[in-house]
Structure 1
Amino acid sequence: MSEPLTVGAAAELLGVTTRTLHHWDAVGLVHPSDRTPAGYRLYTAADLVRAQRVTVYRELGVPLDEIGALLDAPTADALATLRRQHDDLRAKTRQLQRMTAAVERMIAARESGLLLSADDQVAIFGEDWQPTWVEQARDRWGDTPQWAQYAEHAAARSARDWQAITAATEALHADLGAAVRAGVRPGSPEADALAERHRVGIAAHFDCTHTMHVCLGRGYLTDPGYRAFYDAIAPGLTTWLSATIDANARAHGIDPDTATWPTPPHDPSQ
């Protein structure tokens, strides 16, 4: 370059805006060394070399207020600054890798429902467990907010977490069966406590209000699979559980007769 460049020409050459060059001039980072007779800024070759170094450091993520000192620092000081920046970038890279892995787990959880192999599912949930049930659940409820919550929780859970959840669920089922066999009356404090444990167990997977709990209990009565499952724990458990859920909901101000499942908000774009 034989002649100094105007701000516009320098900005085009550097791949920045004229506003950026004006800002660098204002903060003392890159001053144009020459002027036209009319007083307009002109950038010499040395100015452009310095500006190019600024763009390099900026792309490396060095804060703008540190670049000037870095350009003018002795070699040893500049090297120390670059090493610090290198460490910062490595830390950011590790963070991005963790975030990427978390997003990948979320995608997998949305798609599959469980981040466990089929063998691990059977080992944790029992020999009667069918891995295809998760796929069936996704096909049935995959478009609901509850499935989204379930996937969000599942993405963060390890095999040990699922083992703890399974142990708590099995203990609850044993206590429910014992209550039926002992003739515990729906609406009693003992029955209400069991209903709450049941609702909280569901809430480990998605938010479950007392109204939603009533709807689930009603579904247990009409779904042959659920009825068979609960009645296998104790004869009549399905009916007792639904009645117990209703009584607990009444104790919390909910009328089971008018309970309905929440409808997702309507999307005007659809």
Structure 2
Amino acid sequence: MGYSVGQVAKFAGVTVRTLHHYDKAGLLSPGERSPAGYRRYGDADLARLQQILFYRQLGFPLDEIAAILRDPAANALHQLRDRQRRLRAEIARLERLAEVAEQAIEVQRTGLTLTPEERFEVFGEISFDLSYATEAQLKWQDSAVYRASMARARAHTKEDWRQLMKEAAAWRTELLDAVDADAPADGERAMDLAEEHRRHLVRWFTPCPPDTHRRILEDLTADPRAFALLVPPSQQRPGLAAYLCEAVRANAARRAGLCTDPEEQP
């Protein structure tokens, strides 16, 4: 006699709407009828539904499931191996995201806690883009320099951040003055500002030899979200990122072979 759509939905753990969708897509059409003419699901239909739900649980789209069911011998093994590869890649990605979340939780537990008013007082217009922070964590999580700099950042007090941001604001003012005065990016004034920024990083975050500083700035200036951590959008000028990058490269070349400070050593 078979089973009604409501009965099948209940014991299969799906909705009636889902079963109607499978029927409309030609994936699972009830093969029996009741004496009154209503369509009913037979044992073969239930076995097919079990296969469909198995592949759906693995994340297969309906068109791929249909192809597998049309010719299981030709499609199932290849499709399952491909799905296994993709699932493993997704598991690895989720594990990385879980590590980021764990570190974010740790920052919330032990890091700097500020009211909105205090945050504006300390950071002003500088804002931290969560998407960029997450991507940076995933990109640099294997870097000992990155991990050490994040550890130092988490250890800073509110007074540390206030002083750090005060220094950064003064540096930005001088940088913008240099740009507005058309000081050449490879000139003494711009290179001195690049060196000042490098020493700022050494003081507050990480040992930073000139070549490391060059790589850091190239990374920061390549992404507008990252560059906004140095100069808020309201203060930026056309070509400013390129100007700063060139100044840092020129300073790195100037200081090549002259690094005697232990903190500057790679």
Q: TM-score, structure 2 length as denominator? A: 0.48
Bigger relative contact order, structure 1 or 2 (CA pairs below 8 A, ≥6 apart): 2
Instruction: State which structure, 1 or 2, has the greater radius of gyration over its C-alpha atoms.
Output: 1
Q: TM-score, structure 1 length as denominator? A: 0.47
